[in-house]
């Protein structure tokens, strides 16, 4: 049955649809809200026939779902216009509060409440109530939907609240948002989701032009709706379906949860009959209830899929966060390993095994396997013959700073690596250390070059280290290999960091030219001075502007034969000035 067929079935349903369109509300949400008010207008003695066991309560939970969380307030207001019956409405409270609402009054002359609609505009309110330690909210709620006994017996009569079975009519109206329905779906084994009728508060078929408001529905129910009347099933098909479903559950052929859905459908069918002022559930009521449950199931399934999508998004977000964290940690490990290698080689040549053993912890040894070949490729270290195996030593022509990967976060003040041609005894990295998994697979450098070329062909001028890591690892390459390939690529260089990952420029010809070695720069700077003395702070500032960190400038100054460091006053140790020893008096006065 289509939506139009459903709402065209009776004049009452046509009126509900017209009211919804007149007030720009979702028709299915308005229908369910009206159905809840119809049921809340009946006495608690109006029940379903006891085909299996005893008679069943018409108490119901209704969930109004919207992606943005809105729409329930409009729905409730329109439903009150359509079914303007006097009904007690209260906000949801604790489990004890539900029992207290319907408990017999302890004050003489006070009237007992037997019918009410409880509202929870935000489902998070229910979640908060259910999460309290020792709270009986969910247990009391499930008992209330079945019309069972509520409350508790305590030692004191003043604190005891007992609500007898089928002595109250409770309709719970909940505003639900996708991703916030765990309080209901976490109790799937208890059948709570199947006890709820779900509808959306959005309507794709809502007209842009509102029709006029129709007359409200007739709320003057027959006298039987206020007494202890047990409704009857007209078509024999209804009883047969109830018995067939029960036998299937008893024989283990169906889930017990199916029974909750069947009972919920019977309540909807009863509400439709009462809406039309009938105590007999007709064939039309039964067919209409099937359409309502189909809408409910579809809405519930959408909520489940939205929850799964949100969960997948959270998993991906955590994975990206972890990948960024791992990238930062790997960078730190590589920097530490590089520093250790260079310090060890200052004492003389060493074999690969000697260097690796000196790295210490396992994660440093793993980083060592990527760092040493890179240092060799950029000619910061060179290979020489050893007695039993090749040895590594520092390249005397290299005066670079330790930062070396494209992920370097500090592009200012970095003295980039030596860019001369590697010596003849340096073997190409990808041929020297192959990580191929089998014949025909590209080396990581070849794959990376193709990946960058594809981005450039698509018009990209930048990318990120995280994107490269995800693509490379998906292709089967390790992080160390990907970093080596990125560092060796002539058109990849760092632009800094943003959003927790390194930003790379991949524009051809856009790679910054490395500065001169620090000693050469310092000589030229000294030549440009007109005085016999200079301040170290001036050299530091000038060096940083030229791309040299202070550590490099200070080291170059300490090795220079042209500079003598003397106290600025007295025997000061920290406050120093530099005397340029090769400048003449004529030069100083020029």
Each domain of the chain, given as residue ranges in start order, spans: 3-205+232-281, 312-505, 518-589
Average pLDDT (500-527) is 75
Which pLDDT value is given to residue 369? 81
Write out the two tokens for 308.
Answer: 């799964």
Task: Give the least confident one: 52-61, 245-254, 415-424, 504-513.
Answer: 415-424
Percent of the chain at pLDDT exceeding 90: 25
Q: Indicate the DSSP class of residue 317.
A: H
Count CB-CB contacts under 10 A for residue 81. Answer: 16
Q: Could you give the dihedral angle defined by the CA atoms of residues 463, 514, 489 and 375, in that order, rounded to the nearest 10 degrees?
A: -120
For 375-434, write each residue's pLDDT tens digit.
Answer: 887 778 888 887 778 888 888 765 443 333 333 433 333 333 333 333 434 333 343 344
State how far the Cα of 292 lies from the Cα of 340, in Å rounded to an integer.
71
Average pLDDT (91-119) is 83
State how far the Cα of 115 lies from the Cα of 229, in Å rounded to an integer.
16
Which pLDDT value is given to residue 326? 56
Q: Does the pLDDT at position 111 exceed 90?
A: no
Beta strands in 315-398 (DSSP E): 350-351, 381-384, 391-394
Which pLDDT value is given to residue 134? 56
- Whole-number average pLDDT of the chain: 80
Task: Give the least confident one: 126-130, 193-197, 426-430, 568-572.
Answer: 426-430
Which pLDDT value is given to residue 585? 53
In the structure, what pLDDT confidence band is assigned to residue 256 with cuts at 50, 70 and 90? low
Question: What is the sign, positive or negative, of the torsion defined by CA atoms of 17, 22, 26, 29?
Answer: negative
* 3-state helix/strand/coil string of 204-221: CCCCCCCCCCCCCCCCCC
In the structure, what pLDDT confidence band is assigned to residue 216 with cuts at 50, 70 and 90? very high
What pTM, to 2 d.p., does this model score? 0.55
Q: Does the pLDDT at position 78 exceed 90?
A: yes
In the structure, what pLDDT confidence band is assigned to residue 189 with cuts at 50, 70 and 90? low
Which pLDDT value is given to residue 37? 96
User: CATH fold of 518-589, please?
Assistant: Arc Repressor Mutant, subunit A (1.10.10)
Decide if 391 contacts 383 (C-beta within 8 A): yes
State how far the Cα of 14 lies from the Cα of 10, in Å rounded to an integer.
6
Which pLDDT value is given to residue 509? 64
Most confident of 158-167, 219-228, 498-507: 219-228
Average pLDDT (52-70) is 84
Which pLDDT value is given to residue 408? 40
Which pLDDT value is given to residue 435? 39
In the structure, what pLDDT confidence band is assigned to residue 268 with cuts at 50, 70 and 90? very high
Decide if 407 contacts 483 (C-beta within 8 A): yes
For 275-321, write each residue's pLDDT tens digit.
Answer: 999 999 999 999 999 999 999 989 888 888 877 776 677 767 666 65
Average pLDDT (33-37) is 96
Average pLDDT (227-255) is 85
Which pLDDT value is given to residue 434? 40
Q: CA of 413: how far to CAs of 101, 488, 543, 549, in Å? A: 73, 21, 8, 5
Which pLDDT value is given to residue 278? 95
Query: 3-class SS at 230?
Result: strand
Count CB-CB contacts under 10 A for residue 213. Answer: 13
């Amino acid at each position: 049955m289509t939506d139009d067929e459903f709402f065209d079935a009776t004049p009452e349903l046509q009126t509900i649809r017209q009211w919804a369109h007149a007030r720009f509300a979702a028709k299915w949400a308005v229908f369910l809200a009206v159905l809840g008010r119809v049921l809340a207008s009946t006495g608690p003695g109006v029940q379903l026939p006891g085909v299996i066991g005893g008679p069943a309560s018409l108490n119901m939970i209704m969930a109004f779902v919207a992606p943005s969380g809105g729409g329930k307030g409009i729905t409730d207001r329109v439903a009150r216009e359509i079914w303007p019956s006097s009904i007690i409405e209260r906000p949801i409270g604790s489990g004890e509060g539900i029992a207290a609402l319907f408990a017999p009054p302890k004050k003489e002359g006070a009237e007992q409440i037997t019918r009410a609609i409880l509202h929870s505009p935000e489902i998070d309110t229910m979640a908060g109530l259910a999460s309290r330690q020792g709270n009986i909210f969910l247990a009391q709620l499930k008992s209330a939907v079945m019309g069972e006994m509520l409350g508790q017996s305590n030692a004191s009569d003043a604190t005891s609240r007992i609500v007898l079975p089928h002595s109250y009519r409770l309709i719970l109206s909940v505003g639900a948002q996708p991703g916030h329905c765990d309080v209901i779906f976490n109790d799937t084994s208890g059948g709570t989701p199947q006890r709820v009728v779900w509808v959306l508060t959005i309507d794709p078929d809502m007209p842009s032009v509102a029709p006029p408001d129709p007359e409200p529905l007739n709320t003057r129910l027959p006298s039987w709706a206020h007494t202890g009347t047990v409704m009857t099933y007209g078509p024999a098909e209804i009883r047969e379906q109830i018995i067939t479903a029960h036998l299937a559950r008893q024989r283990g052929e169906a889930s017990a949860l199916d029974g909750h859905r069947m009972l919920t459908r019977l309540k909807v069918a009863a509400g439709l009959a009462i809406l039309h002022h009938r105590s007999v559930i007709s064939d039309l009521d039964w067919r209409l209830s099937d359409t309502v449950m189909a809408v409910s199931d579809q809405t519930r399934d959408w909520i489940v899929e939205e929850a799964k999508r949100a969960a997948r998004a959270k998993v991906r977000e955590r994975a990206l966060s972890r990948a960024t964290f791992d990238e930062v940690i790997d960078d730190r490990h590589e920097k530490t390993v590089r520093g250790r290698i260079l310090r060890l080689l200052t004492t003389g040549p060493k074999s690969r095994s000697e260097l690796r053993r000196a790295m210490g912890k396992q994660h440093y040894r793993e980083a060592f396997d990527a760092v040493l070949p890179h240092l060799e490729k950029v000619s910061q270290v060179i290979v020489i013959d050893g007695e039993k195996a090749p040895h590594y030593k520092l390249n005397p022509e290299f005066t670079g700073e330790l930062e070396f990967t494209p992920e370097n976060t500090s592009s200012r003040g970095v003295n980039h690596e030596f860019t001369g041609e590697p010596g003849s005894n340096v073997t190409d990295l990808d041929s020297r250390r192959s990580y191929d998994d089998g014949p025909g697979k590209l080396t990581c450098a070849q794959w990376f070059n193709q990946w960058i070329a594809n981005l450039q062909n698509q018009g990209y001028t930048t990318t990120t280290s995280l994107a490269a890591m995800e693509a490379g690892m998906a292709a089967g390459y390790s992080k160390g290999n990907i970093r080596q390939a990125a560092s060796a690529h002539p058109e990849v260089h760092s632009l800094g960091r943003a959003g927790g990952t390194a930003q790379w420029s991949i524009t051809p010809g856009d790679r910054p030219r490395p500065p001169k070695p620090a000693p050469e720069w310092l000589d030229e700077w000294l030549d440009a001075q007109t005085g016999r003395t200079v301040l170290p702070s001036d050299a530091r500032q000038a060096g940083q502007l030229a791309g040299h960190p202070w550590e490099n400038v200070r080291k170059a100054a300490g090795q220079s034969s042209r500079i003598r460091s003397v106290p600025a006053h007295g025997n000061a140790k920290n406050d120093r000035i530099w005397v340029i020893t090769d400048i003449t008096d004529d030069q100083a006065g020029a």
